[in-house]
């Protein structure tokens, strides 16, 4: 066996592989990094690891809070803590609070009956108990439920010759109202939370980069599936990327604002139909000096946040999504989803996530701006392929296609900058 091990070790040394005994001494992540290929050498080309999301595609934040020692802070805001609990815990606490409350006051009613001697003299004539027909703990528990829920079957009734019972009745009525207000309020808020409204707000699976009006733009699409609209809808975006300062400080997951129309008001949305949100890559943009090759090497995440009020309830709703660096595609545009039918506009959500490739320069927006100053670029850069130009013709319905061909007009070749496609349905002769 020793001879076989030496033969294997010599053989590994000849072909340039780390000996087996030495591999076992290496850390686990270094042992797994060994990629055997052929019998002469190892290929160690760098492979870009998938980035861990900061925000999931469905909007859930991928952050867990650990080693929280000051847990008493959760009890200082008990109502919010109860609302944030999972449904099964909410139902359990809801039931537990009521049962404990009924048992507690049932015990007090039984204790009063025991001290007064009602349990021993209940059957004697002329004896006036505190609560009629209360002769055991079970009957006291039932009387507690009837009192707090105001059922009032009429079989067990408190008498006027029991001042301690009257005081206890007042206390139970007041505390029962407080418990009802808190528990029912928690369940109502939990049911009517606007988180469910965010499920019908859609974000495109991919973000794209292409040229719009001679400017490089980063774009993604948003849409609302419901007919009841989001009031005062606004959208913002954050770039999540680790960076190192000039002083050498490392800032993990640093957040940088991405301007998507804050200064011009374009971040305020009228979200009746799907819209393409555009970020102009200019001097203030973090992508200003990034070319296509550089962006493929970068590791970042773009978090988009859509906020507004639910029209039906007036509560504020927030929907979130994110795009990793691998989900930002260079040189693509979104397929139009809006078409003009007879008397209305129709949105085709089958094409909501669809994109098509377009001719886009691979250099950075900074270089594109410099070249545009020297000479116009777009006449030499067809942005749309011939088969897609016919789908971006937003002519008015007042002029038919035959009239345009007769007048010698050519269909528009440039996108109008929106997320819509207006197709004409000629009126029948």
Domain end among 373, 388, 403: 373
Range of the domain at 278: 197-373
Provide the 8-state DSSP code for 246. Answer: T
Query: Is 324 domain-assigned?
Result: yes
Long-range contacts of 426-429 (CB under 8 A, 24+ apart): 426/400, 426/401, 426/402, 427/400
The two tokens of residue 221 are 């699409």
CB contact at 8 A, 172 and 144: yes
**How many CB atoms neighbour CB 389 within 10 A?**
17
Question: Which residue, 182, 216, 192, 371, is CA-closest to 291?
Answer: 216
104 plus 131 within the same structural domain:
yes
pLDDT of residue 282: 92
201 plus 187 within the same structural domain:
no
**How many CB atoms neighbour CB 23 within 10 A?**
13
Question: Which residue, 256, 264, 206, 211, is CA-closest to 234?
Answer: 264
Residue 236 backbone dihedrals phi, psi, to 5 degrees: -145, 165
292-303, pLDDT tens digit by residue? 999 999 999 999
242 plus 113 within the same structural domain:
no
Provide the 8-state DSSP code for 215. Answer: E
Query: Is 409 domain-assigned?
Result: no
Provide the 8-state DSSP code for 81. Answer: H
- Strand-pair partners of 340: 345
pLDDT of residue 263: 86
CB contact set of 183 (below 8 Å; sequence gap of 6+): 94, 97, 98
- Strand-pair partners of 216: 211
132 plus 226 within the same structural domain:
no
Domain end among 152, 172, 193: 193
Query: Is 418 domain-assigned?
Result: no
Sign, CA torsion 65/70/76/78: positive
- Cα angle at 308 between 304 and 309, to 5 degrees? 155
The helix/strand/coil state of 242 is: strand
238 plus 159 within the same structural domain:
no
* Predicted confidence band of residue 235 (pLDDT cuts 50, 70, 90): very high
In angstroms, the CA 153 to CA 18 distance is 86
From first CA to last CA, the distance across the chain in angstroms is 95
- Strand-pair partners of 211: 216
pLDDT of residue 376: 62
The helix/strand/coil state of 330 is: strand
CB contact at 8 A, 335 and 384: no
322-372, pLDDT tens digit by residue? 999 999 999 999 999 999 988 899 999 999 999 999 999 999 999 999 988
248 plus 356 within the same structural domain:
yes
CA distances from 173 to 151, 156, 179 (A): 13, 16, 10
CA distances from 389 to 61, 85, 233, 410, 421 (A): 40, 52, 32, 11, 11
Query: Is 290 domain-assigned?
Result: yes
Query: Is 410 domain-assigned?
Result: no
Q: Across the chain, what does the average pLDDT equal?
A: 78
In angstroms, the CA 340 to CA 428 distance is 16
The two tokens of residue 418 are 């929106």
pLDDT of residue 129: 85
Residue 142, domain CATH: 1.10.287.70
pLDDT of residue 106: 94
177 plus 262 within the same structural domain:
no
Query: Is 382 domain-assigned?
Result: no
Mean pLDDT of 16-34: 42
pLDDT of residue 118: 81
**How many CB atoms neighbour CB 205 within 10 A?**
15
Query: Is 276 domain-assigned?
Result: yes
CB contact at 8 A, 223 and 201: yes
* CA contacts within 13 A on the Cβ side of 194: 17
224 plus 305 within the same structural domain:
yes
Query: Is 23 domain-assigned?
Result: no
Residue 329, domain CATH: 2.60.40.1400
Rounded-to-5 percentages of helix, strand, coil across the chain: 35, 20, 40
142 plus 223 within the same structural domain:
no
Going through 281-413 in order, the beta strands assigned E by DSSP cover: 301-310, 316-324, 328-330, 332-334, 338-341, 344-347, 355-357
pLDDT of residue 206: 95
Global confidence as pTM: 0.65
The two tokens of residue 262 are 């804050």
**Above pLDDT 90, what percent of the chain?**
41
Q: Name the CA radius of gyration of the chain, rounded.
A: 35
Question: Which residue, 349, 422, 16, is CA-closest to 202?
Answer: 349
47-98, pLDDT tens digit by residue? 556 678 999 998 889 888 888 877 778 777 888 888 888 889 999 999 999 9
CB contact at 8 A, 310 and 194: yes
**Above pLDDT 70, what percent of the chain?**
76
224 plus 125 within the same structural domain:
no
Domain end among 134, 168, 193: 193
In angstroms, the CA 358 to CA 384 distance is 6
The two tokens of residue 318 are 């927030």
114 plus 205 within the same structural domain:
no
Residue 307 backbone dihedrals phi, psi, to 5 degrees: -125, 155
180 plus 124 within the same structural domain:
yes
| Count: domains in the chain | 2
């Amino acid at each position: 066996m020793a001879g076989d091990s030496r033969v294997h070790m010599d053989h590994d040394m000849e072909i340039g592989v780390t000996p087996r005994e030495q591999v076992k001494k290496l850390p686990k992540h270094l042992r797994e990094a060994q990629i055997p290929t052929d019998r002469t050498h190892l290929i160690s080309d760098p492979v870009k690891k998938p980035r861990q999301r900061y925000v999931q595609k469905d909007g859930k934040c991928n952050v867990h809070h650990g080693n929280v020692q000051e847990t008493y802070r959760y009890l200082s805001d008990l109502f919010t803590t109860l609302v944030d609990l999972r449904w099964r815990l909410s139902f359990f606490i809801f039931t537990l609070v009521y049962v404990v409350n009924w048992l507690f006051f049932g015990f007090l009613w039984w204790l009063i009956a025991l001290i007064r001697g009602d349990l021993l003299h209940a059957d004697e004539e002329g004896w006036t108990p505190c609560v009629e027909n209360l002769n055991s703990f079970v009957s006291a528990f039932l009387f507690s439920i009837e009192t707090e829920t105001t059922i009032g079957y009429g079989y067990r009734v408190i008498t006027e010759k029991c001042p301690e019972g009257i005081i206890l009745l007042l206390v139970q009525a007041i505390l029962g109202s407080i418990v009802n207000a808190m528990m029912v309020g928690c369940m109502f808020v939990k049911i009517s939370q606007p988180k469910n409204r965010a499920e019908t707000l859609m974000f495109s699976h991919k973000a794209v980069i292409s040229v719009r009006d001679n400017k490089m733009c980063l774009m993604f699409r948003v849409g609302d599936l419901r007919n009841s609209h989001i009031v005062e809808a606004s959208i913002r975006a954050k770039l999540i990327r680790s960076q190192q300062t000039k002083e050498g400080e490392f800032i993990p997951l640093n957040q940088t604002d991405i301007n998507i129309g804050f200064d011009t008001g374009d971040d305020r949305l009228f979200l009746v139909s799907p819209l393409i949100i555009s970020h102009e890559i200019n001097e203030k943009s973090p992508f200003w000096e990034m070319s296509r090759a550089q962006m493929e090497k970068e590791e970042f995440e773009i978090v988009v946040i859509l906020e507004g009020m639910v029209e039906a309830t007036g509560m504020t709703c927030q929907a979130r999504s994110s795009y990793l660096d691998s989900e930002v595609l260079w040189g693509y545009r979104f397929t139009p989803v809006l078409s003009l039918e007879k008397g209305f506009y129709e949105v085709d959500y089958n094409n909501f996530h669809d994109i098509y490739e377009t001719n886009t320069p691979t250099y950075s927006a900074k270089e594109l701006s410099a070249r545009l100053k020297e000479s116009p670029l777009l006449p030499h850069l067809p942005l749309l392929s011939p088969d897609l130009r016919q789908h971006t013709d937003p002519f008015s319905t007042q002029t038919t296609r035959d009239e345009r061909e007769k007048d010698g007009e050519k269909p528009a070749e440039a996108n109008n900058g929106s997320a819509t496609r207006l197709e004409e349905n000629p009126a029948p002769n």
